[in-house]
Structure 1
Amino acid sequence: MIQVRVGAFFLTCLLFLGLFAACAPTAVDHEQVSESDKIVIRFSHVVGEDTPKGQAARLFAKLMKERTNGKVEVQVFSNGSLYKDSEELNALAEGHVQMIAPALSKLSNLVPELGAFDLPYLYSDLDGYHRVFDGQIGQAIARKLEKHNMLLLAAWDSGFKQFTNNLRPIREPQDMAGLTMRIMPSAVLGQQFNLLQVRPIEMNFNDVYLALEQGKIQGQENTISNIYSKRFYKVQNYMTLSDHGYLGYLVVIDRTFWNRLPAGVQSVILETMREVTNWERTQAVKLEQAKLQEIYNCRCIQIERLTETQKAKWKQFYQPLYADMQQRLGQDFFRELNLTP
C-alpha cells in the first residue's frame, strides 16, 4: 500500500513539472540552424594552429559562423590531421574537402609561373610579394587556377625561410655542400639546392621532425613560425637567418562547390577573406618576431644572421637559376615582376 502511494506521488510530481515546463518561456538560440540548411566547408591545411595560416583559418571559421548566424560552418583541420600536403590537391578535386591553402610550390606544376616565387631573394620585403599577388599577375594566376577547378580566394604569408642543419654554421653558399636537406616538391627548389651541391629530399611537412631526429636528413628550410611550431630548433644545432626564400600560401576553394553556394554566402566569404588576409599578413610579422625571440631564449641552437652584403653574394650565386627561369617563363613575365628593364 505504501509503495502504491509513493509511486502515485512521484507520478503526480512528474506531471506537474511537465505542465510547468510546457508553460514556461523557452530560450531560443537564433544561431541554431538545422543540419539540412547548414553549409559545411571542410578546410584542410598542414601547419600548426599557432602559425599565421593556422590562426587565420580559425579566425575565418569564427567570423563566418558569426556573420551567417551559424548557417556556414567552416571545419578547420590543421597539422595535416585530415590530409598530408601531398594529398590535399587530390582531396579537393575529389570533393573530400572544399578549401585548402597549399604553399605556392605545391601548385607550380599546375601554374608554372608560381615557380618564380621559389627563386631565392626575389624581393627583399613582403610588400614586394603582396604587390604581385594583389595585382595583375595575381589575377592571371587566378584565371589559370580556374582551369583546374579552383577559385583563388587569397594569398597568405608564412614569411621568409631560414636554414637549419646539424653539421655546421651556414654563412656562405659553399657551407651547404654535402648536406642532405628536406625541400618541398618544386623543380626550382631542386635546382636551387643542386647548385649548392646539396642532396635535396622531397618530404611531407609533418614527416620532417622525425626525419631530423632520426638523422635521415641533416637540415631543412622553413619560416620561423613553422620552425617554432614543429620544434625543429630542438633537433637542429644551427640556424641561419638568411631570409633567402619566400613561403606563401594560396587559399583556394573548389569551384564546383563555390558555384552551388548562394550569392549572399559567396559575398560574405569574399568580404571575410579580405579582412582575414589583411589581419594574417600583419600577424605573420608579429608571430615571426615573437617566436624568434622564444627560440633565442631557449639557448638550444646556435643562430647566425646574414648581413646585407652576404645576402647580395648569395643572390649573385643564384644568377644561373634566374637565367634559366627567365628562359622558361619568358622575359615579358619577368618584366611584369620588375626583374628586368
Structure 2
Amino acid sequence: MTKYALKCVISSIIILPILFFSGCKGKEKEHKVEEKKDAPILGEYILKFSHVVSPNTPKGKAASFFEKRLEELSEGRIDVQVYPSSQLYKDNAVLKALKLDTVQMAAPSFSKFGKIVPQLALFDLPFLFKDMAHIHRVQDGKEGQKLKDMVNAKGYIALAFWDNNFKQLSSSKKPLILPEDAKGQKFRIMSSKVLEEQFNVIGANPQMMPFSEVYSGLQQGVIDGQENTISNIYTKKFHEVQKYLTMTNHGYLGYLVVMSEEFWNSLPQDLQKAVVQAMKEATAKQREYAQELNAKQFNLIKEYAKQSGKLEIINLTKEQKDAWRRAVSKIYPDFYDSNKIGEDLIKGVLATE
C-alpha cells in the first residue's frame, strides 16, 4: 500500500464519524460537510495544487481545467484539489513545500527559481523572442527541455511552461520611441541582474521595488516608469498614473508548473502518463486564456486612453524595434557563463525558427 493510499484510509476513518455526527446538526452543519476540505477523500492519491492567483485568471482557469481532466483520465484514482489565491502557500514558500511533499503541484513565476536554476532568467533577456509563437516553440523544444532538466536535477518534476505574456514599457516623463528616450529615467524592476543590465545599457536607472509599491511609486514620482505585462498594468492601474505606454514586447513573464518529486515517484506509470496528458491539454488551454485576457485588457486600456486623454499608446515600427534590439542585445554576452544563463541556451533561442 502506498503512503497516499494509507493517507486515504486514515482520512476516511477520521472523516466518516464526523459526517455522521454533523448530519444531525441541521442545515448549517450540512453546508460545511459539502465543502471540499471536509469532503471524504475518494481518490487513491491526493494531489494538492497550490497557486497564488484568483480562479478566474488564466493560471487559475487552467488549474481548474487540469483538475477536472486529470480526475477523468485517472478515473478518479487521483483526487486533484486546487488551492488558489495563496490559500496554502505564497510562491516564495511553495518550492520548499514541494520538497517536503506538503503540496504536490505549483506554478511559480520564473523569478522564484532564481537561486535554484538561474538559467530561467533566459526569459528576462530583452528582445530575445520574436513573438509568442516563437516563445512556445522554444519552450516546447530542446531549449525548453534543457531548462526543465535543470529544474528536475534540483529535485522537482518540471511539467510545463505557462504564459502571462510579453512586457511593455511605460513612462510619465516622455514617449519611449528609441532607446535614448529612456536615458536618465528611473524604471522599477524586480530583482534580476538581466533587468538591471537591460536598463543600464541604455542609460536608464533601474530601481528594485516590491510589486505592491509600484503604483504609489509611479503616482508620487519616486520612479518614472516600469515594465510589465498588460494584465499587470491593467489590474494594478499603472496606466492611470503614466502618460506614455510603449508596446515593446521586449521581455516575457511566465510560470513553470512543477510537481513534487516524491509524489511523482509514488505514481504508477499509467498515472504518470495521465498527469502528462492532462498537463498537455491544460497548457494549451492556459495559453488561449492568457492571450484572450491580454487582448481584452489591452482594449480596456485603449478605451481608457481614448476617454481620458491622459495616456498615449505608442506602437513601434519595425525600424524602431530593431533599434531597441541592437541597443539591449549588447548585454547577451554578459550572460554566456553557464552559471548565469549560458551561451548555448541564448544562441539556441536565436537559432530557433
- Could you say whether these structures have the same fold, taking a TM-score greater than 0.5 normalized by the shorter chain as the test? yes
1:74 aligns with: 81
Note closer, same or farther for the CA distance 1:66–1:332 as it changes in structure 2 (3 Å cut). closer
Matched, 1:311 2:321: yes
- 2:202–2:328: 8 Å Cα contact kept in structure 1? no
1:16 aligns with: none
CA distance in 2, matches of 1:215, 1:88: 34
1:35 partner SS: coil
Structure 2 unaligned residues grouped into runs of 5+: 1-33
CA distance in 2, matches of 1:151, 1:143: 9
Matched, 1:281 2:293: no
The residue type equivalent to 2:162 in the other structure is W
Q: Which moved more, 1:301-310 or 1:196-205?
A: 196-205
- 1:40–1:74: 8 Å Cα contact kept in structure 2? yes
CA distance in 2, matches of 1:176, 1:159: 22
Structure 1 unaligned residues grouped into runs of 5+: 1-28
2:336 partner SS: helix
CA distance in 1, matches of 2:347, 2:89: 37
1:116 partner SS: helix
1:25 aligns with: none
1:310 partner SS: helix
CA distance in 2, matches of 1:204, 1:48: 20
Deviation sequence 1:45-94 (CA, Å, 0-9, x none): 3445444323222322343445544851322323x565444444334334
- 1:41–1:97: 8 Å Cα contact kept in structure 2? yes
The residue type equivalent to 1:104 in the other structure is F
Corresponding residue to 1:297 among 294, 303, 310? 303
CA distance in 1, matches of 2:103, 2:127: 34
1:244 partner SS: coil
Matched, 1:255 2:261: yes
The residue type equivalent to 2:292 in the other structure is K
2:332 aligns with: 322
Deviation sequence 1:1-56 (CA, Å, 0-9, x none): xxxxxxxxxxxxxxxxxxxxxxxxxxxx9x99733756443333344544432322
Deviation sequence 1:124-163 (CA, Å, 0-9, x none): 1122222222122222222211121111111112221101
The residue type equivalent to 2:291 in the other structure is V
Query: Percent same amino acid at aligned positions?
Result: 40
Q: Which moved more, 1:144-153 or 1:202-211?
A: 202-211
Note closer, same or farther for the CA distance 1:45–1:190 as it changes in structure 2 (3 Å cut). farther
- Aligned-pair distance for 1:318? 1.1
Corresponding residue to 2:238 among 232, 251, 259? 232
- 2:128–2:349: 8 Å Cα contact kept in structure 1? no
Give the total of aligned pairs: 310
Deviation sequence 1:256-315 (CA, Å, 0-9, x none): 232234544433222111001112223322222221111111235321111111110000
Matched, 1:98 2:134: no
- 2:164–2:229: 8 Å Cα contact kept in structure 1? yes
Matched, 1:245 2:251: yes
The residue type equivalent to 2:80 in the other structure is E
1:14 aligns with: none
TM-score, length-scaled by structure 1: 0.78
Note closer, same or farther for the CA distance 1:212–1:85 as it changes in structure 2 (3 Å cut). farther
TM-score, length-scaled by structure 2: 0.76
1:63 aligns with: 69
Note closer, same or farther for the CA distance 1:216–1:73 as it changes in structure 2 (3 Å cut). farther
Corresponding residue to 2:134 among 108, 128, 141? 128
Note closer, same or farther for the CA distance 1:87–1:118 as it changes in structure 2 (3 Å cut). same
2:250 partner SS: strand
